[in-house]
């Protein structure tokens, strides 16, 4: 792991601000990335005992050091936060190209906190990060949302978004990735130990947010 620097994008939707910083190599040596690093970030830097749907709660989408490399099954990232069903740990691991393109845009993970005043989406590229209005996508399904976002940003943009279930706070809502124009649609919705479905989609809705990015080819 020597020489590997994890670049974390922090997004405060309440303030409408973003900041990127590197996580120390000692921490990376211990927790590597993905769900392991997400657990450390939640318990060491997150608010104590927050309501999972409160604005101050953190939601993380993190890659690992092998994401986007030729290694087998490496096109994955983890989505983690406190589960709305248990109030404790909730995590899902999802494949596709979202994590790969995130790293190509110069970011290894995204941590979202706060709540936007209205629906927004994150446009992440190698040139920077923008928080854009997404009010016109409310009520659209995930295929429609991804098509709209690719039309507004880049035809090859990779989108991670929620649909009507997430917008209405359904406990079974998932975050959908890589569809309908990717090789296949991926979803993150697994909860604790696979026994319950974590409302990742519901958490995104409570923050009024979607995410999309275009990395360097």
The DSSP secondary structure of the chain, one letter per residue, reads -TT--EEEEEEETTTTEEEEEEEPHHHHHHH-SHHHHHHHHHHHHSPSS--TTSTT--EEEE--TTTTSSSTT---EEEEEE-TTTSSEEEEEE-SSHHHHHHHTT-SEEEEES--SS-EEEEEETTEEEEEE-GGGTT--HHHHHHHHHHHS-TT-EEEE--HHHHTT-TT--EEES-SSSSS-EEE-B-GGGTSB--HHHHHHHTTEEEEEE---
Confidence of residue 191 (pLDDT cuts 50, 70, 90): very low
Residue 115: Cβ within 10 Å count: 20
The CATH classification number of 6-214 equals: 3.60.9.10
Confidence of residue 197 (pLDDT cuts 50, 70, 90): very low
pLDDT over 60 (residue 19)? yes
The residue extents of the domains of the chain are 6-214
Confidence of residue 195 (pLDDT cuts 50, 70, 90): very low
pLDDT at position 209 is 63
CB proximity list for 190: less than 8 A, separation 6 or greater: 91, 92, 93, 197, 198
Could you read off the pLDDT of 31-70 as tens digits, one per residue?
999 999 999 999 999 988 778 888 898 999 999 999 999 9
Between 212 and 74, the higher pLDDT residue:
74
Share of the chain above pLDDT 70, in %: 81
pTM: 0.88
**CA–CA distance, 142 with 127 (Å, rounded to integer):** 26
């Amino acid at each position: 792991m020597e020489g590997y620097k994890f670049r974390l994008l922090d997004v405060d939707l309440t303030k409408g601000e973003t900041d990127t910083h590197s996580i120390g190599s000692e921490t990376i040596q211990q927790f590597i990335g993905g769900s392991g690093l997400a657990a450390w970030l939640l318990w060491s830097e997150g608010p104590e005992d927050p309501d999972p749907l409160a604005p101050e709660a953190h939601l993380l989408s993190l890659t690992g050091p092998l994401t986007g490399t030729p290694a087998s099954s490496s096109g994955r990232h983890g989505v983690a936060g406190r589960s709305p069903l248990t109030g404790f740990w909730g995590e899902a691991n999802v494949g596709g190209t979202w994590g790969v393109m995130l790293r190509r845009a110069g970011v290894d993970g995204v941590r979202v906190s706060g709540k936007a005043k209205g629906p927004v989406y994150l446009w992440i590229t190698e040139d920077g990060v923008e928080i854009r209005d997404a009010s016109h996508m409310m009520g659209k399904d995930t295929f429609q949302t991804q098509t709209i976002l690719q039309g507004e940003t880049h035809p090859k943009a990779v989108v991670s978004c929620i649909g009507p279930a997430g917008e209405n706070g359904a406990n079974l809502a998932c975050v959908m990735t890589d569809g309908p124009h990717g090789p296949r649609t991926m979803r993150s919705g697994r909860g604790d130990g696979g026994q319950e479905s974590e409302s990742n989609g519901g958490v995104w809705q409570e923050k009024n947010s979607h995410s999309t990015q275009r990395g360097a080819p």
